[in-house]
Amino acid sequence: MMRVMSFVRCGLATLCFLVPGWVSAQDTLSVFPGRSLPEWTVEAARGTADAASAPYALAVETHAPDVLPRAALSMERALRSLPGAWVNDQGHFALGERISVRGMGARAPFGVRGMQVVLDGIPLTMPDGQTVLDVVESAVLRRTELLRSPAALFWGNGSGAVLFLATDDEPETLRFRAQALAGSFGQRRVLVEGQAPLGAHAVQFYASNHRQEGYRAWSAGVRRRAGASVRFRTGASSHLRLLGALALQDTEHPGSLTREQFEADPTMARPAFVDARAGKESLHAQTGIAFERAAGSRTLRITGYGVRRALDNPLSFAYIDLGRTAGGARVALRQDRGRIRWGIGGDGALQHDIRKNFNNAEGAPGDNIFLDQVEDVTSAGAFAYTGFHLARQVQVMGGLRYGTVRFAMEDRLLANGDQSGSRLFSAWSPMLGVSWRRDGWLLFANYGTAFETPTTTELVNRPDLTGGFNPALDPQIARGVEAGLRGALGPRLFVDAALFAMHVDGRLVSFENESGRDFFRNAGENTHRGLEVALQWIPSVRWEATFSATASRLVFQETALRGNLLPGVPERRFFGRVQTRQQDFRITVEAEAVSEYFTNDANTAANDGYVVFDASLGHEGFTAGSVRIMPFVEVRNALDARYSGSVSINAFGGRYYEPAPGRAFLAGLQLHILP
């Protein structure tokens, strides 16, 4: 109770601080850039609707990194202002950010689960439902869409929510920028980015090198990323886009701590992980092609992609060697004619993994092999939807998808018998929504579903430590309803609000053994209920503010856990950002308040609530010839709060806590070549 009251007092103090001017994202525009709702196509829903009539909870932001310099070192910085989203950044590169929306994705021990992520129209989510964000360079994002509703109709397996990211904006003139920054805990990053029109065509590229020593011991790492795309205008109403992205990573892994270790020294690493030289070395390469043709009222889209991933992952219990090849394609046809909109399509994807587990010989593969198997995942689906206007202001939309996911495994280590086998999962996924638009406001309601299979990693991690797939692990199914509104209260205040209720069957939850290895089981039923609110206020040309709040209650209904709260997700979260322009300077102050939340299914341990303040100062630049120089400085965790920014859910021995960095300073320069 004392922790809750402490959080309430801190939250009220934060709100009092923010009331004079909440913030718009420091370099963003919300889904409401003017009095009326925008007509742009919502790509997170695969082009089935526009933001003005989409009958589901949706947040859209556009970014302008070439206008305002920013560090943007992680996805947490790009997504933290979005209502309903909860992003955990462990402060090191080994696990990547954990993203959950309305509790979907909270179980992920690494990477992203339970939601689809798409970069420039190409899925980052594999056929088994696992997403790796290695190739996403958040500093070059131009647009972010978060569809918070269950969306299996649009994206199939693992679609509890959809995050769509875009790096291109069809430049009209040549643009080039370079950025260099350095700061606390050995942070150093160099970034270059360029865009140029080539007649009717366009080209874009970026490259970055990010190093850190780390706040904690044994958390140093390096990330190198590069990407390029070429857009060809193939006709008056068609274009073709070729994309490529590459990420190289080499990092140490400090592991999670017990409460006693965290309170004694949050900078320490888990001794067993240091002894095992735990870490990750990976290569992730992705290519894609997208073709679109609009002919009258019809639009045809064809996309395809390929992925190659290599992972060497020494951990305390084993040395994991994984090679992955994957790819997929999608075809969709859409027509808008008068009051009726309809679409049909189909997609399929393949994933081929070669997985080997060795004993860990001080960070190298040992002589003993524990696992040697080939895993194949095949997914296929077809969908259809239609929308029509009952009246000029009322639109109804409905759709249905059928999808299958097949897992097959060939056991190449036969010393303990042949564990080869397969699992087949399938589901029907309906969706129904209605929206009413009037006087700059949109009211909406919908019913949607999400079908989520275990990933290959979750299926092969059997509690009995044998090979093959876990025969007791099944998919989870989510069915959700929501109602909400978005629109403008006059020309300066914009509102986004949604109420949701979701029922989850067969909830996939993790548990850990004494060696630190994660296993998974189905935990019966869950109910998720909550409220999301976001406000954007622009009182003058010099002041902007945004406030977002999420209040939710995610409860187990399983007999053994009935009434317990889902771990890893706070019931209440507040975020605010105030930004002002004074002469040539831009000043930004941010605050985040998070309530206490549990770290295990039994609800016997918790992570304390916290309040964190950040601030930044940027100059709009000095011109030297054809170069514009823009300096900036940032301070993060300005009050040096000690808190755990992420947790390891259900960790063995109470090792739940992953300390967040203390006070940190960053400074940098951004250069622009003027056209």
Averaged pLDDT for residues 345-372: 96
Higher per-residue confidence, 266 vs 391: 266
Q: What is the mean pLDDT of residues 341-366?
A: 96
Q: Is the pLDDT of residue 499 over 80?
A: yes
Q: Which residues contact 260 (CB under 8 A, 6 or more apart)?
A: none
Residue 261 predicted with pLDDT over 60:
yes
pLDDT per residue over 558-594, tens digit each?
A: 888 999 999 999 999 999 999 999 989 999 999 999 9
What average pLDDT does this structure show over 452-459?
92
Q: How many CB atoms lie within 10 A of CB 373?
A: 21
- CA dist 220 and 450 (Å) reads 37
Q: 26-40, 428-442, 622-636: which has the minimum mean pLDDT? A: 26-40
pLDDT at 23 over 70: no
Q: What pLDDT does 26 receive?
A: 37
Q: What is the pLDDT of residue 358?
A: 97
Mean pLDDT along residues 600-622: 95
Pull the structure tokens for residue 404: 């299958």
pLDDT at 37: 57
Radius of gyration over alpha carbons of the chain, in Å?
Answer: 24
Q: Where are the domains of the chain?
A: 2-673
Q: How do beta strands 162-166 and 116-119 pair?
A: parallel
Q: Mean pLDDT in the chain?
A: 89
Both tokens of residue 497? Answer: 């609000």
Cα angle, residue 134 at apex, residues 375 and 207 outer, rounded to 5°: 135
Task: Give the pLDDT score at 414.
Answer: 85
40: confidence class by pLDDT, cuts 50, 70, 90: low
For residue 8, name the pLDDT band (cuts at 50, 70, 90): very low
pLDDT at 33: 41
SS3 of residue 148 by DSSP: coil
**DSSP character at residue 363:** S
pLDDT at 494 over 70: yes
pLDDT at 234: 94
Cα separation, 365 vs 490, whole angstroms: 63
Q: How confident is the model at residue 72, as a pLDDT?
A: 87
Q: Residue 106's pLDDT is what?
A: 85
Residue 622 has pLDDT above 50, yes or no: yes
pLDDT in tens, 519-559: 888 988 999 999 999 999 999 999 999 999 999 999 999 88
Show the tokens assigned to 596.
């206490």
CA distance 638 to 620: 23
Phi (first) and psi of residue 197, to 5 degrees = -80, 140
Q: Which of 423, 335, 336, 322 is nearest to 372 (CA)?
A: 322
Q: Which CATH code is given to the segment(s) 2-673?
A: 2.40.170.20
Give the pLDDT band (50/70/90) at residue 39: low
Percentage with pLDDT > 70 across the chain: 93
| Confidence class for position 31, pLDDT limits 50, 70, 90 | very low
Other Cβ atoms less than 10 A from the Cβ of 263: the count is 11
Average pLDDT of the residues in 508-519: 81
526 and 488 in contact (C-beta within 8 Å)?
no
**pLDDT mean over 70-92:** 88
Q: For residue range 183-199, what is the model confidence (pLDDT) as tens digits?
A: 999 999 999 999 999 88
The reported pTM is: 0.92
CB 547, CB 82: distance < 8 Å: no
Distance CA 495, CA 57 (A): 12
Among candidate residues 153, 114, 128, 151, the one with its CA nearest the CA of residue 566: 114
Q: Which of the pair, 96 or 66, is modelled with greater confidence?
A: 96
Name the residue with higher pLDDT: 168 or 538: 538
Q: Which residue did the predictor score with more confidence, 174 or 292? A: 292
How much is the pLDDT for 38?
Answer: 59
E strands present in 557-663: 572-582, 585-594, 597-598, 606-607, 610-619, 622-624, 627-636, 644-647, 657-659
Mean pLDDT of 399-426: 93
Residue 296 makes CB contacts below 8 A (sequence gap 6+) with none
Smallest CA-to-CA distance from 256 within 111, 134, 91 is with 91
- The full length of the chain comes to 675
- Taking residues 109-134, what's their average pLDDT? 90
pLDDT at res. 90: 82
Which residues, 6+ apart, have CB-to-CB distance to 248 below 8 Å? Answer: 223, 224, 225, 282, 283
pLDDT of residue 350: 98
Report the b/e string of 464-478 with b at 16+ CB within 10 A.
eeebbbbeebbbbbb
